Amino acid sequence: MIMTQNERRIFLIKELLREQPRYSNLKIPADVQEQRSLLRSLFNIRMPIPISQEFLAVQDAYLQEELRRKGITELSNLTPVQEGIYLWQGDITTLSCDAIVNAANSQMLGCFHPCHGCIDNAIHTYAGIQLRLACAELMEQQGHEEETGKAKITPAFNLPCRYVLHTVGPIVQGWLTKKDKELLASCYRSCLALAEKNNLRNVAFCCISTGEFHFPNDKAAQIAIQTVKEYRQETHTKMEVIFNVFKDEDDKIYRRLLGAD
């Protein structure tokens, strides 16, 4: 039986509530937007534990339809601002390319804060619960938290891209230090090297560390562009790079630095 999007959402909410005895008496709201927020919250707080194939099938159909309705952007429809370099303002979870970069935390399990506005939350929400399970498996194999400046790769599951590169950016506390700058540059180099190792043709970077981690936006953009250009020159790679921005502020900064006005 083919389910409607509303039926899928209610099914998923009920199944996730069943896992959470403390919310057993929670009434599912009638309002569709409130249902979406509740489902996202339940995705966000769910620990990386197994779940049924039936759930995953319904979840996958639901998330893919949600992303389709948001609108998928194909990299082939974008125009480079410089050779091999693109600037794109939009929702990175809707970009169809080889890989997108997630600004992760050292746990590498995604954001557990319900409906939080960080990119880590958005990517894990729309990829589906398989992404947290994949990250948990990587972290169990590693045996310790992820170091700042390194990178890991996972499938993208329900996202329109093929892979997600996860990197932990530096947290800026007070004055910006030389070490902060070196670690941010390392995030970009690690992601590029990992993408190259996996024969990826293109990778989309978010503005690593500029949100909750308080790296100054203009300095972060300078480091991002400089590191990418140096890597391309040193390695002679043909891999394309997309600088993804969401805020108007970042769009203006990158346009100025890339001469894209």
Q: What's the gap between Cα 83 and its chain centre? A: 25
pLDDT tier at 25, thresholds 50, 70, 90? confident
197-204 mean pLDDT: 98
Q: What predicted TM-score, i.e. pTM, was given to this entire model?
A: 0.96
pLDDT exceeds 90 at position 211: no
pLDDT exceeds 90 at position 127: yes
Comparison of pLDDT for 127 and 261, the residue scoring more: 127
Distance (Å, whole) CA 229 – CA 64: 34
* Span 154-164, pLDDT tens digits: 999 999 999 99
How would you list the strands of the sheet with 99-104, edge to edge? 85-89, 240-245, 202-205, 99-104, 163-168, 151-155
Whole-Å CA distances, 260 to 24, 203, 252, 253: 53, 19, 9, 10
pLDDT exceeds 90 at position 151: yes
pLDDT exceeds 90 at position 212: no
Note the pLDDT of residue 43: 97
174-187 mean pLDDT: 94
pLDDT tier at 49, thresholds 50, 70, 90? very high
Note the pLDDT of residue 174: 84
Helix or strand run (H / E) with residue 43 = helix 32-45
Helix or strand run (H / E) with residue 99 = strand 99-104
Q: Pseudo-torsion of CA 5, 11, 16, 22, nearest 10°?
A: 120
